[in-house]
Structure 1
């Protein structure tokens, strides 16, 4: 606990992170020598043998070994740098034969990036190793110089570290002032070394993620697959909600209406007054069912949004909110219909949260365009404390926006106010 009370500059030299990064840079040099030899041998031997059939399997085998070395490097970055890099896309073979697997390895961009990493990482590893070891050893040696100076062989005339010497004179660190100055210089080097190590390992992180991780295209495909799953789940949930609303609402009322009209038909001849009363009750049920159907249709896609755009649709949503809401829409034109619908339902759900949970007196809705982005902001003066936690409404909104490359930002300190900002692509 005492370590955490120290300033970051004084704490860094003895933190575990610094020692892990130093160990990473020490290991980089021998491993990079092996990877460089492997990569150069693979490239030169495989290219030289391409005039025969042997060059193709040799090159593919070398690339496969490079991929295995990349797995080791990702594990090393994960354990020592706490830097997690996903595995690259596998080399998928179209068939099950050996030639299909060889062709898959040769056509995989990840295989060639691993080969490139083995070649370009060696010069950097040499530089980083030299800088790290120099600053580390000189810093700690100078800082602790007064503690180990006694080990110097005084009996042969060496009273300290000699900085300079020739036939006429020499400069030796042996006085008390020189000892103190040496320790101060060592302390400065010790304090600056962790930040130098972090800068060096930052470059290693870039190399590992850029050359040993998945390509941007593969990452984008994986992201789109995830977003597609979110969209499918959301659509299924919406269908279940519509089915439940129809079953429990309008359908139940229509069944009751049919029963009332049947009873009224039976009483029409014998009890006209009772039949009239049943018809009047059925008329009320019809009005209620129609209102529920209108609300359900509005929840699917409101006609006012299609006909008049976001300004009118959001004004209608604000009018139904339990607190006064000011709506300001400043759009030069209408965005894509899908984006417009997502914007509408985002503001609708945020205003529902204001009505149910915020305990606010007022709320504000602002919509505007910036470049190729549509921005929405809903603010309230309520109690705050809103968090996009797992399973919550804000989390679901964030997933919906992410499915179209949108972003949801929540600023809701305890005590309020709450500001929720959404960014959507325009895509008109």
Structure 2
């Protein structure tokens, strides 16, 4: 029993010291980075009217996001405080001014910027508190052990430790007694004081209920669109089966019945009908394969997204280059959504852009699958109601993905798709 008590006390003491060290690192070592990030961001924003800030702002805001995400990770690992983030994805490959506009429209960006001055003031004090709680009692012990003589000589009079004026050994013992009381307080509140720092961080960085409600509304709408799309797809499959393969199979069954009656009476007619039935079966099989390919291409299931897009490019009437950098495979629904999104974008490029060449790039970075489709056509593509790109946007929205289009008049057109996912 005593052994367990000593072990528990030693663990608490080590935890208290570790918390003090962590708080000191947050207050002292991280403060310069916070100040530097704030200064660079403010300078970059001030340079936007001159044009230079349009290029530098994305880099500055990315650095601020990295700093905020590091603090979120430390809050989770050190104190179990979870700080949610609601960043809007920034399209990869977009022009700097497009990235600047996207990031400045993001409410989370402005929460990050408000957090920087808070972290430099109240955040600094709450992070430094654990170190003060642990180190200040040690000063009382040092005074009791004789340091009071050095301090009083340096001061030329009484040295104040808290509310105790230290002038002689007796008052130094009083400072030591106060240090014991403060150490008891530190033992109780050191970890809580660091947790207070992270709760302050969460209060500034976490999205509000209104934004979370808006996020839920968007997800609800995309889920409803996905359900509607699925229902429409099921109706299409049913119609294709009824009007295509099913009709051919019914006709083939009728031909076989006629052949059964004619095989003895008119062998030549029976042979002709057999050839016709064989042709019908081949056509029905081809239609079924096309239907299955439209639901989920076999090459996608067997070889993955990269090879499926390459196979798709081979069937296009324009020269298409495909670059793939995917070290693994995403989940099947994500791959399927990405494949059909690329298929729709390529179809639009062939039909409407008048392009002679198309470039497709697929890669995975920072937990996102990023796909860009670029053509050298006439440009002018927009995401509008009834357009194929609007359907692609809804398809990606089901997986919390985004679509960005850069298509000035005269071209070129660049369509960027981004889906958050992990690769196996």
- TM-score in terms of structure 1 length: 0.48
Higher RCO, 1 vs 2 (CA within 8 Å, ≥6 residues apart)? 2
TM-score (norm 2): 0.48
